[in-house]
Amino acid sequence: MTREQTRSSKAWYNALSRYYDVLVDPFQGRLRRRGIDRLGVSPGDRVLDVGCGTGRGVATLQNAVGSDGQVVGIDVAEQMCRLTRDRLDDEDPSAVVCGDALTLPFDTDSFDVVLASFTLELFEGDHRTTVLDEIRRVLIPRGRICVISPSTASKTISPLYTRLNDVFPTLVDSRPLDVSAVLAEAGFETTQTQIEWALVVPVELVVARCGSRT
Ligand SMILES: C[S@@+](CC[C@H](N)C(=O)[O-])C[C@H]1O[C@@H](n2cnc3c(N)ncnc32)[C@H](O)[C@@H]1O
């Protein structure tokens, strides 16, 4: 994602924000909840939700970590951040950060767990690597990540989905990836992986641990 792509992604998700829960969440919500279950978040954990959208994941995670834990959602689209803030009981302004996953505004080793639900596929090659490097930096050593993304691993991506991607790249805004392979390349060790379906799209749910930093 170049700076220009960041700008257009931001504009697109700001425009989509008010329809997102009605149009998109019915297909993605079930998989996000399953991914959060797989993460096995514990009370007291510090969790980052990258590309938090309308904040449903942040709300679920807050229940899991309890009052001793901390959940931060980051999103580049201001309207998504506003919807997340409106959803949360939490008055803590640091629970929602409007910012770019390419340059995470957090200290090294700030989080025990990261969720990236339907976010990593928005980034092209080099920028995906940068986002994963940033996630590794802010995660503690052996910290956990769950990535939920359209996958190339099943080899059965529907021709309709491929065609839609070609014709309406902004609308679909998705570059399916081999999630486990991409995570391995970025220095994560996969502990669980599963293919699920969102309509015609194979989606990979992967839980992985941060390998040691060199
Ligand atoms: C497909 S939505 C997924 C939302 C949410 N994670 C979910 O599971 O419902 C992708 C989100 O990533 C955000 N996003 C796109 N580019 C981003 C970037 N460079 N940094 C942070 N967030 C970004 C979008 O604004 C959007 O809210």
Q: Would you list the DSSP string of 3-52?
A: HHHHHHHHHHHHHHHHHHHHHTHHHHHHHHHHHHHHHT--TT-EEEEET-
What pLDDT, on a 0 to 100 scale, did the predictor assign at position 39?
96
- pTM, full prediction: 0.93
Structure tokens, 67: 């009052």
What pLDDT, on a 0 to 100 scale, did the predictor assign at position 175?
81
CB-ligand 1 contact for 102 (6 Å cutoff):
yes
Side by side, the strands of the sheet bearing 139-150 are 96-98, 70-75, 46-50, 111-117, 139-150, 201-210, 188-198
Q: Which CATH number fits domain 3-210: 3.30.1370.100, 3.40.190.10, 3.40.50.150, 3.30.420.40?
A: 3.40.50.150
What pLDDT, on a 0 to 100 scale, did the predictor assign at position 170?
55
> What distance in angstroms lies between residue 74's CA and the mean position of ligand 1's atoms?
8
For residue 181, the Cα-to-chain-centroid distance in whole angstroms is 17
- Residue 180 is classified by DSSP as H
What pLDDT, on a 0 to 100 scale, did the predictor assign at position 158?
59
User: Which atom of ligand 1 is the closest one to the Cα of 32?
Assistant: 8
What pLDDT, on a 0 to 100 scale, did the predictor assign at position 68?
96
Return d(Cα 51, Cα 74) in angstroms, integer: 6
Is residue 100 within 8 Å of residue 6, measured between CB atoms?
yes
User: Which atom of ligand 1 is the closest one to the Cα of 115?
Assistant: 6
User: Which atom of ligand 1 is the closest one to the Cα of 24?
Assistant: 9
CB-ligand 1 contact for 87 (6 Å cutoff):
no
Residues of the chain with pLDDT under 50: none
- Residue 212 is classified by DSSP as P
CB-ligand 1 contact for 73 (6 Å cutoff):
no
- Phi and psi at residue 213, to the nearest 5°: -80, 140
What pLDDT, on a 0 to 100 scale, did the predictor assign at position 19?
96
